[in-house]
Amino acid sequence: MALVRMDKLVCTAAGCSRADAKRLLSSGAVTVDGKTIKQGSVKADPDSQTVCIGGKPVKYSEHIYIIMNKPLGVVSSTDDHDGQTVLDILPEQLLRKGLFPAGRLDKYTCGMMIITDDGDFAHRILAPKKHLPKIYQFELDAPILNEQLRQKFLQGVYLGGGEYSSPAYLDIISPTEGRVTIFEGIYHQVRRMFDQNGGHVIALKRIKIGGLPLPDDLAEGMSRQLTDDELKQLFETEKEVL
C-alpha cells in the first residue's frame, strides 16, 4: 500500500474525526514502529509498519464500508437538490471524500443501504451479472397476493417501458403484505412490479442484501462501519451468472 498521512490513517483506523485524530496525535498516543508521531503530515506504510493508538495495534483499510438504516424522506442521491441526503445524516467520523451509495433507495423507501468510496466493491453489489439478491418487505393497497402471482414473479415480471425483471421470489405473508427477492436494481423496480399487477406499494423497506440482513440493533437513521464478518456475509450468496 502507498504511504498514508498519519492524520488520515488515525482517523480511519480509530473511526474518529480529523480534529480528534489531530488531538490523539498531539497527545502522544500514536506510535509507528514504537516511535511516537505527533504530526498529521508524517506518512507511514500501514502494510509494513506497525501503527499503535494507545499502545494497541490498529488496522488501516484504504476504503470505508458503511451500513445505514435509511429513514423515510431522505434521498439516496449524493446531491442535495431533492432535500436531505444520506450523506447529510452520516456521523462526521464516517465522512470521506468520494462516498456514494452502492444501490439507491427511493425517498420513501427505508431500510438497508451500503455506502462506500470503493467503486469495485459497489460493482460487486450492483452488477446484475453478480446476481446478488436484495430482499424487500412491502405492503400493498390491494389484496392481490396469491399463488398465481407468486408463480408469475418466478418467470420475471414486466415493469412497463419495455423492461422486465429477472425471476423474482415472492414470500406471501397476507394478501397485502410480503417479501420480494430481486436480483437487479432497476429504477423503482419493486413498485413497478406491483403496479403492473393491480397493486400499489404503500410501504417498502430493504431488509437484506446478499447474505447480510439489516442488523436488528441498527436503529432507523443510524449508520456504522461494516465489520469484516459482515463484509464476508454480504457476498456469501454471490455467484456469477454467465
Residues with a catalytic annotation lie at 106
Task: Give the residues lining the site for ligand URA (CB under 6 A).
Answer: 105-106, 109, 188-191, 204
3-class SS letters over the chain? CCCEEHHHHHHHHHCCCHHHHHHHHHCCCEEECCEECCCCCCEECCCCCCEEECCEECCCCCCCEEEEEECCCCECCCCHHHCCECCCCCCHHHCCCCCEECCCCCCCCEEEEEEECCHHHHHHHHCHHHCCCEEEEEEECCCCCCHHHHHHHHCCCEEECCEECCCCEEEEEECCEEEEEECCCCCCHHHHHHHCCCCCEEEEEEEEECCEECCCCCCCCCEEECCHHHHHHHCCCCCCCC
Nearer to ligand URA, 68 or 105 (CB): 105
Task: Work out how close the CB of 111 gets to ligand URA at its nearest, in angstroms, rounded to a whole number.
Answer: 9
Nearer to ligand URA, 188 or 224 (CB): 188
Nearer to ligand URA, 12 or 189 (CB): 189
Nearer to ligand URA, 102 or 204 (CB): 204
Task: Work out how close the CB of 190 gets to ligand URA at its nearest, in angstroms, rounded to a whole number.
Answer: 3
Task: Work out how close the CB of 180 gets to ligand URA at its nearest, in angstroms, rounded to a whole number.
Answer: 9
Task: Work out how close the CB of 201 gets to ligand URA at its nearest, in angstroms, rounded to a whole number.
Answer: 7
